[in-house]
Amino acid sequence: MRQIRAALLVRGPLRSRNFRLLLACDVVSGTGNAVAIVAIPFAVLAIGGSASDVGYVATAMLLPMLLFLLVGGVAGDRLPRHKVMMAATASSRRLRAQRRSWC
C-alpha cells in the first residue's frame, strides 16, 4: 500500500498538496451534485407532485444555472481564478445549506 501511494505522489499533479485537496473537494462536491439531481425529482413525487411538477422544478434549477454560467465565465476570465473558485465553492455551500433549511 505504501509503495502505491509513494508511486502516485512521486509523479504527476498528485505531488501537489493543493491539487490533492482540490481533487478531493471536487469529488465530494460532484458526488453531492449528482445525488441531488437524482433525489430532487423523487422528493417532488414523494410530496404528491406530478410529472409536470418535476418538469417545473427541473426548469427552475436550469434557468439560474444558465444565467450564472454566463456571469461566471466573465468573472473567470477577468478575476484571479483561485479567488473565483473559492467564492463559487463558498456560495454553493451556503445555497445548499439554505435550501436544506427550507425543507
How far CA 50 is from CA of 21, 43, 45, 89, 100, in Å, comes to 41, 11, 6, 32, 22
Q: Is the pLDDT of residue 53 over 90?
A: yes
pLDDT grade for 81, boundaries at 50, 70 and 90:
confident
Domain coverage including residue 75: 2-102
pLDDT, tens digit, for every residue of 4-42? Answer: 666 655 677 878 888 888 889 889 888 988 898 899 999
Of the candidates 101, 75, 98, the residue with the CA atom closest to the CA atom of residue 88: 75
pLDDT grade for 78, boundaries at 50, 70 and 90:
very high
Q: How many domains does the chain have?
A: 1
Q: What was the pLDDT predicted at 30?
A: 86
